[in-house]
């Protein structure tokens, strides 16, 4: 099984760190984000990863020349940003298998990829999370005040996909999969989801995300 890691972003919200290193090499507990991701993918028998990159690519390549991960690593290098759809389409030229995984380059999770494989062209979804208190109201009265991060029965894209190779020809050369193929497939009834409740999930996009993720990452990815 192969997996594509979408790691081409500049990580502007993590400046000034990302002025000097690409976002995939930003450390969580002294280990780069992308190393945690590869360790996670290996648990599900992924034997090869294709890293989509365009910013400070040489630093990523040099890192893995020195650090052996026990997995085959290839690179799909973007001369200019292609968007998630364009990046997957380009990287997909290196895939011969009928299906493959895709993961956003800043996602840290313990989602069970074996469950995601149960449906073709599926998106991993988790309950919507918010950093704000949830109010249950009637008219102008607050009945309940809940300090929680998950909103029951409202689902969000977790940034992990299990796709069939045939989707590659329908992806744009440049553009986001979330704005092109996914809406089209949803209208046609060709897009599925596997829902994951009570799962650990972080999108490492800020210093606060880094701090919170670092407290749990060794429990999330063992």
Single out the catalytic residue among 12, 93, 146, 148: 148
* Cβ atoms < 10 Å from Cβ of 23: 26
The widest CA-to-CA distance across the chain, in whole angstroms, is: 62
Cα separation, 86 vs 37, whole angstroms: 21
First-to-final CA distance of the chain:
20
Residues 6+ apart with CB under 8 A from 138: none
Taking alpha carbons only, the member of 131, 108, 124 closest to residue 204 is 108
Q: Is 43 a catalytic residue?
A: no
Cα separation, 190 vs 181, whole angstroms: 10
- Report, as residue numbers or ranges, the catalytic residues: 148
């Amino acid at each position: 099984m192969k997996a594509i890691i979408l790691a081409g972003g500049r990580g502007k919200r993590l400046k000034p760190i990302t002025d000097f290193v690409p976002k995939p090499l930003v450390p969580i507990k002294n280990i780069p984000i992308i190393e945690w991701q590869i360790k996670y993918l290996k648990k599900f028998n992924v034997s090869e990863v294709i890293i989509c990159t365009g910013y400070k690519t040489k630093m990523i390549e040099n890192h893995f020349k020195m650090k052996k991960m026990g997995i085959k690593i290839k690179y799909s290098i973007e001369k200019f940003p292609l968007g998630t759809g364009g990046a997957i389409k380009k990287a997909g030229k290196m895939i011969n298998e009928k299906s493959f995984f895709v993961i956003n380059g800043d996602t840290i999770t313990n989602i069970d990829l074996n469950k995601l494989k149960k449906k073709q062209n599926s998106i991993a979804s988790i309950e919507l999370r918010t950093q704000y208190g949830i109010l249950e109201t009637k008219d102008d009265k607050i009945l309940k005040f809940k300090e929680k991060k998950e909103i029951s029965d409202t689902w969000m894209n977790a940034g992990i996909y299990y796709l069939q190779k045939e989707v590659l020809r329908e992806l744009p050369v440049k553009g986001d999969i979330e704005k092109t193929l996914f809406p089209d497939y949803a209208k046609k009834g060709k897009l599925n989801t596997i829902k994951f409740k009570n799962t650990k999930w972080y999108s490492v996009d800020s210093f606060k995300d880094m701090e919170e993720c670092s407290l749990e990452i060794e429990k999330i990815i063992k």
